[in-house]
Chain A
């Protein structure tokens, strides 16, 4: 137990100093099976990319993406931003991605991280999990969602 505590303390103190600020160089597939590189395909200068990790079975994820969809036209025009919804559905539920995205009229770029390589590289434990990236730098991370917290995200996007 003591050792465990020591571990935790040794580890947590320097974390804030060494936080990861770049996206990993990892390929994922889009819904048309085309390979997309997370680093090089989302690198337009000064554009804000919001990477939102979700799954068809994750209720808060669907709520978050629905809530953002309400404002999406407005936000993307005002802020030069794009939302990239990265599904971590595995082969059990991946069939639900295409019909759900269209059924709900989501305007987002949708990617599929089937064996969760990207999720693992970013050490994501639970979803929804959202990263805000500008000029290849991770500017903000939101670890979770509660109704209305998209407004908090919007405020932070406006400051970028």
Chain B
């Protein structure tokens, strides 16, 4: 029976692959004919797209305590092709996870198939699209459909969308779709409308050095509910209002979002018919910038804003005998609530990373939350060339401060309920206070340094301890010739918890503008557990020429969160080779 199943799957895969090959050949030969004809100055349209390939070979590593996975060779490949002829464009993206996706990607990314496809008509005022599309309303707090391959996110909507811009002062969007999940879509029907109104011209604000724009969005999710007497509607409506005002070098913008009452899912992923609450999110951002400096302040309060395209997350058994939820793979999430903290480039500053608590989380009677509140301040300054601190080439400094807290109020564990205050803060989840400096000393030397102070309460995430960490980073680049250079970076972290103290270093050698090589290592010398006192040594190189780039790496992957844009994916510890390639055409 199993053999029959495997054979059937192979047959399906093979027939899929032959179809795909045939399609490529037809498209490419069609284009070549078109290209030849084009020499006679006829418009036969334009073909464009890109390829990305990430191949890994995982190995057994007893020093790290990892076994070789059942399928040690894995790869994620993306090929997209678009063809534009006059006002029409059609395209698709084929994704190939063969023989399986890289470790800990969504198990629904399996095999080779069309990931997205679309056809679009575009005129000066209209943009009409059928098929898959990406979209974001405002800052995404009620809708963001996007792609991030490193995180394994592709939340494109499949349906139809009309964008209409009668003139440069108005943009309207109307859409319907279902959200992509693996190579399928989820059960929720998503309806959306968005309006952007630019008032600068109408109110003659440009002449006064001012600008004002307003925005409104609606997103509705319809999904059938199985409860006999449901305490909430099958259609969940959400609304968002926003404004952005600029006066010379000062700006102020804000956004208010509201999501109607909806059943809350518990930590096991089950939908409740009794724990029913509305959600909202408010964001205020302002700043002032002038020559040589800029300051920016953001405040945000989020309460019960987890918004999924299907109310109950899907579950999958994993190889360790546990159960994974689709939320572990960031699948089925309709909105975007990123952590508003600085994204550091240092290896060690990315060990204790914060993820925004967007929804209700009742882990145990001591650990209950309904969202988060807090803020972030950024300050940039450059000391001018020739000044005392600027030296011959100037000096840049940046300061970033962020603190995030639980919502203050009263929480009841059983039956679950909360009553939170709008103003004020609860216990602290996280802070990150950091300062950085970059400086060019002369034609040959560039240096940089930063200090980062982090606090993280892991109890709300996985029941672990509170961590206080201090990190220092220093880096220097020396140019031997115009394009031959070496960069050295050293890092050190003192931490009170989560594997405690680390040290790290990177050496990067740029042979010329095409070849780069590197070796880096981070070492967890301070861990209380002897088997955690390991090196994560990596080395590799990259070659780039024009639009092509290829890179090879060998080494160990630290288990933990890989984060892009404030959203994180968990990756397990692993060891092995990786090869990545990308190009466009």
Whether B339 contacts A92 by the Cβ 8 Å rule is yes
Does B498 touch A at the CB level, under 8 Å? no
Complex CA–CA separation, A100 to B294 (angstroms): 6
Whether A147 contacts B338 by the Cβ 8 Å rule is no
Whether A115 contacts B135 by the Cβ 8 Å rule is yes
Does B553 touch A at the CB level, under 8 Å? no
Query: Which residue of chain B is the closest to A26 with respect to CB atoms?
Result: B122
Q: Contacts of A99 on B, CB cut-off 8 Å?
A: 287, 289, 293-296, 378-380
- Contacts A102-B293, A126-B549, A143-B546 given: A92-B382 contact, CB under 8 Å? no
Whether A92 contacts B136 by the Cβ 8 Å rule is no
Whether A116 contacts B146 by the Cβ 8 Å rule is yes
From B48-56, B216-224, B426-434, the one touching the partner chain is B48-56
Does B416 touch A at the CB level, under 8 Å? no
Whether A18 contacts B289 by the Cβ 8 Å rule is no
Q: Contacts of A100 on B, CB cut-off 8 Å?
A: 294, 378, 380, 398
Whether A18 contacts B244 by the Cβ 8 Å rule is no
Does B47 touch A at the CB level, under 8 Å? yes
Interface size on B, residues (CB 8 A): 102
Tell me how far the C-beta of B83 lies from the nearest C-beta in chain A, rounded to whole angstroms: 11
Whether A101 contacts B485 by the Cβ 8 Å rule is no
Does B291 touch A at the CB level, under 8 Å? yes
Q: Contacts of A148 on B, CB cut-off 8 Å?
A: 479, 481-485, 510, 513
Whether B99 contacts A33 by the Cβ 8 Å rule is no
Tell me how far the C-beta of A79 lies from the nearest C-beta in chain B, rounded to whole angstroms: 18
Does B272 touch A at the CB level, under 8 Å? no
Complex CA–CA separation, A100 to B398 (angstroms): 9
Tell me how far the C-beta of B125 lies from the nearest C-beta in chain A, rounded to whole angstroms: 12
Does B104 touch A at the CB level, under 8 Å? no
| Binary CB contact string for chain A from 5 to 42 against chain B (1 if under 8 A, 0 otherwise) | 01110111011111110101100000011110000000
Whether A98 contacts B96 by the Cβ 8 Å rule is no
Q: Contacts of A93 on B, CB cut-off 8 Å?
A: 343, 565-566
Q: Contacts of A160 on B, CB cut-off 8 Å?
A: none
Complex CA–CA separation, A143 to B203 (angstroms): 43
| Residues from 112 to 140 in A contacting B, C-beta threshold 8 Å | 114-117, 120-126, 140
| Binary CB contact string for chain B from 262 to 274 against chain A (1 if under 8 A, 0 otherwise) | 0000000000000
- Contacts A115-B144, A140-B546, A148-B513 given: A14-B379 contact, CB under 8 Å? no
Whether A104 contacts B487 by the Cβ 8 Å rule is no
Does A152 touch B at the CB level, under 8 Å? yes
Partner of A95, one of B17, B79, B99, B287: B287
Whether B479 contacts A1 by the Cβ 8 Å rule is no
Complex CA–CA separation, A149 to B381 (angstroms): 26
Tell me how far the C-beta of B559 lies from the nearest C-beta in chain A, rounded to whole angstroms: 23
Whether B246 contacts A123 by the Cβ 8 Å rule is no
Whether B293 contacts A149 by the Cβ 8 Å rule is no
Whether B547 contacts A143 by the Cβ 8 Å rule is yes
- Contacts A103-B398, A115-B134, A144-B544 given: A18-B294 contact, CB under 8 Å? no
Whether B98 contacts A20 by the Cβ 8 Å rule is no
> Range of interface residues on chain A?
35 or more
Q: Contacts of A62 on B, CB cut-off 8 Å?
A: 438
Whether B485 contacts A11 by the Cβ 8 Å rule is no
Whether A34 contacts B198 by the Cβ 8 Å rule is yes
B50, B53, B200: which has the most chain A beta carbons within 10 Å?
B50
Q: Contacts of A20 on B, CB cut-off 8 Å?
A: 46-48, 584-585
Whether B549 contacts A103 by the Cβ 8 Å rule is no
Q: Contacts of B295 on A, CB cut-off 8 Å?
A: 99
Does B258 touch A at the CB level, under 8 Å? no
Does A90 touch B at the CB level, under 8 Å? yes
Query: Which residue of chain A is the closest to B246 with respect to CB atoms?
Result: A32
Does B140 touch A at the CB level, under 8 Å? yes
Q: Contacts of A98 on B, CB cut-off 8 Å?
A: 251, 287, 289, 294, 296
Complex CA–CA separation, A110 to B125 (angstroms): 24
Q: Contacts of B185 on A, CB cut-off 8 Å?
A: none
Does B520 touch A at the CB level, under 8 Å? no
Whether A18 contacts B31 by the Cβ 8 Å rule is yes
Does B236 touch A at the CB level, under 8 Å? no
Query: Which residue of chain B is the closest to A59 with respect to CB atoms?
Result: B345
Whether A147 contacts B485 by the Cβ 8 Å rule is yes
Whether A105 contacts B96 by the Cβ 8 Å rule is no
Whether A90 contacts B291 by the Cβ 8 Å rule is no
Partner of A3, one of B17, B140, B211, B547: B17
Does B179 touch A at the CB level, under 8 Å? no
Complex CA–CA separation, A1 to B249 (angstroms): 56
Whether A143 contacts B544 by the Cβ 8 Å rule is yes
Whether B294 contacts A114 by the Cβ 8 Å rule is no
Tell me how far the C-beta of B210 lies from the nearest C-beta in chain A, rounded to whole angstroms: 10
Does B237 touch A at the CB level, under 8 Å? no
Complex CA–CA separation, A143 to B499 (angstroms): 37
From B20-28, B319-327, B417-425, the one touching the partner chain is B20-28
Whether B485 contacts A33 by the Cβ 8 Å rule is no
Does A108 touch B at the CB level, under 8 Å? no
Q: Contacts of B292 on A, CB cut-off 8 Å?
A: 102-103, 105
Q: Contacts of B48 on A, CB cut-off 8 Å?
A: 20, 24, 121, 123
Question: Could you name 24 residue pairs across A and B whose Cβ atoms are closer than 8 Å?
Answer: A4-B96, A12-B583, A33-B211, A35-B171, A90-B336, A92-B338, A94-B139, A98-B296, A99-B287, A100-B380, A102-B290, A103-B293, A103-B380, A103-B398, A104-B382, A115-B135, A116-B147, A122-B584, A123-B50, A123-B80, A124-B50, A126-B582, A143-B547, A147-B479
* Residues of chain B whose beta carbon lies under 8 Å from any beta carbon of chain A: 14, 17, 20-21, 24-25, 28, 31-32, 35, 46-53, 73, 75, 77, 79-80, 82, 96, 98-99, 112, 122, 134-136, 139-140, 144, 146-147, 149, 165, 168, 171, 198, 200, 211, 213, 244, 246, 249, 251, 285, 287, 289-296, 298, 336, 338-340, 342-343, 345, 376, 378-382, 393, 396, 398, 438, 440, 446, 477, 479, 481-485, 487, 510, 513, 516, 542, 544, 546-549, 565-566, 582-585
- Nearest first, the 4 A-B pairs at minimum CB distance are A123-B50, A99-B294, A103-B380, A102-B289
Known: A11-B51, A90-B336. 4 other contacts (CB 8 A): A66-B396, A93-B343, A102-B292, A148-B482
